[in-house]
Structure 1
């Protein structure tokens, strides 16, 4: 295949680069920032996309963040590329704090017992694993004689997914608005500076061309 990697990466290297990309997270963040500032759209449209991408990062719809961000951004008439890039606000370094904040907010809003113990991320991870195992077992049971048991998925929905979904709304909106109001002036300044640089470069080229034309005219 044309696009197949020549050097096949081992599983451990793929996992390592997922949690720590090549060049580090600082380089990855710098790349995203430059890509956002170079998008050919007005600052407010780009900022809308950033708002949606950050907001979606606070939802429990893992694996669907791109689709959800693109759909909401299209409805809000924002920049879809900016939204997709902004979903990287949710990454292996921020998933745990985002999950803890969203869950505790959800428990508070729903009047449930707060889960503020130190090992919340361990419990959360275990429930994700249990729910996945439950789903896999039930899919196998659908094509065999095994009994279907949705108890762990029900527990996951009641104690994780639903509180996470409800609780992520407020912190997601707050984080999205902060990023929106920070990004508008920054993108405006960058675009104006870039326009100024392009105009100066164009003026320099015109001046150089004019000098070449005048020199040729004197020779003739």
Structure 2
């Protein structure tokens, strides 16, 4: 649990690794940035444990890079989730004209947990939800899930645009620099080969003259 909340090597090391993997993906900067943006958007949805699937779906729908979309879900992590959940719920309630502002992350997670417990109780009852379970789930959907979905979608769109705007030029610059380095090394190898051939021919002509 401690490793999940705060790894020994820190989050920045993991972010740096993901950044390197992102830049090296064999795809265009547009598709990579678009895929990452889909992952960032999915991180603001209330579909916990399904962010990978939501990100992959939108990346497939918009023709972005699916692997980059999976990397993009790193926007939602143990450090950012409290702020994401509280701000999404607060904005959703504000837009929908609901009473009450946001809630702390613990209260939101308790609401999700209670809804899952009610749903599971209905499943165990041969898909027959009891009255209190149905009322609990409907209350959760109306007071928490729907406002979270609306607010999260709005903030997620902004996060997606920002991610695309930042990442696209970075990936393009990296790929351009990488291609130049490859071409320079290839030119250096060709030059070295030409010099070796030239030296061999000179040596061969000297031997013939001798």
SS of structure 2 residue aligned to 1:150: helix
Deviations 1:185-212 (CA, angstroms, capped at 9, x unpaired): 1111111111111111111111112222
For 2:65 and 2:8, locate their aligned partners in 1 and report how far apart those are by CA, in whole Å. 27
Deviation sequence 1:94-143 (CA, Å, 0-9, x none) = 111111111011101111013246xx222112112211221222222228
Q: Tell me, yes or no, if structure 1 residue 184 matches structure 2 residue 168.
A: yes
2:87–2:102 CA contact under 8 A, matched in 1:
no
Q: Once superposed, which parts of structure 1, at least 4 consecutive aligned residues long, lie more than 4 Å away?
A: none
Whose helix proportion is higher, 1 or 2? 2
Which sections of structure 2, spanning at least 5 residues, go unmatched? 205-210
2:9 is the counterpart of 1:23: yes
- How many matched pairs? 203
**5+ long unaligned stretches in structure 1:** 1-14
Q: Do the aligned partners of residues 167 and 147 (structure 1) sit closer, same or farther apart at CA in structure 2, a change above 3 Å counting? A: closer
TM (normalized to structure 2)?
Answer: 0.89
Give the TM-score of the pair, scaled to structure 1.
Answer: 0.85
Rounded Cα–Cα distance in structure 2 between residues aligned with 1:122 and 1:68: 24
Task: Give the C-alpha shift of residue 47 in structure 1.
Answer: 1.1
Give the Cα separation in 2 of the matches to 1:73 and 1:17. 30
1:16-95 residue pairs with structure 2 within 5 A?
Answer: 16-95=2-81
Which residue matches 2:207? none
**Structure 2: distance between partners of 1:207 and 1:188:** 28
Shift of 1:147: 4.8
C-alpha distance in structure 1 between counterparts of 2:155 and 2:184, whole Å: 43
Q: CA RMSD of the aligned region, Å? A: 1.9
Measured in 2, the distance between the counterparts of 1:199 and 1:121 equals 51
